[in-house]
Structure 1
Amino acid sequence: MECQRRGFPKRCRCREAVLMKTSGIAKNPGRLFHACPYGNEGDNWYHTFKWTDTCMVKELEDLIDKVGNIEETSMTLQKGFNVCESEIDTLAMETCMCEAVVEKEVGDLTLELCSLNNLV
């Protein structure tokens, strides 16, 4: 149920969209809150009511956690990327070495073929 979640509520238990309003009572004058349009002071146990500043704190706490998770994931991905880059460099070096060996063998075989052609 939306009303029990952290952060800003969007729907009440009665499925009605929650609205942001301004308090007009003496105890909390001008304080913003989120509430179901069908709720009133006496039945907050069923219809959604949350102070906006409280919602904001919970939203920020959740965002801080999410950013922390993203940073950890980013570092893990960067380490994996660095490993891949290193492997690519190693493979490129091995490829160059193999090409050099093949070129030398082709050269040697070309000379041998020339020698055999001269014998024939």
Structure 2
Amino acid sequence: MGDSGRGFPTYCRCGTRVIRCTSKTITNPGRLFHKCPYGDEMESLAIETHTCCSVVSGYEKELRGFEKEIEDVKMELKSLKNMVVCVVVFGLLYKLFM
């Protein structure tokens, strides 16, 4: 991937040939450096990935809340079903003995 020894590497860790640039900063004017041509794109993708993970995490929390609500509704439905069965049984018993 990179050259062993001193000097500029010719390839990035990702396998792409590096670009050699000259610094235009105040602290290092004219200093040579190398960079991956996909470096900025990789940073953007990393930020976008982080954002997507945050969104997914929020959806997972929301999904867990919905799952809890579904369980509560199931319990309520079961209770209502039991009440209807009791009313029907008592109604039949009332008709039978009256």
Matched length: 69
> Is 1:71 paired with 2:42?
no
Where does structure 2 lack aligned partners over 5 or more consecutive residues?
1-9, 11-16, 20-34
Relative to the length of structure 2, the TM-score reads 0.63
Relative to the length of structure 1, the TM-score reads 0.52
Where does structure 1 lack aligned partners over 5 or more consecutive residues?
1-28, 34-52
Q: Which residue of 1 aligns with 2:82?
A: 100
Q: Deviations over 1:67-100 (max 9, x none)?
A: 1011101100000100000000000000011111
Task: Give the partner amino acid of 1:81.
Answer: L
Larger Rg: 1
Runs of 4+ in 1 over 4 A off after TM superposition: none
Larger relative contact order, structure 1 or 2 (CA cutoff 8 Å, min sep 6): 1
Instruction: Using the aligned pairs only, state the percent identity.
Output: 19
Root-mean-square deviation over aligned CA pairs: 2.0
SS at match of 1:55: coil
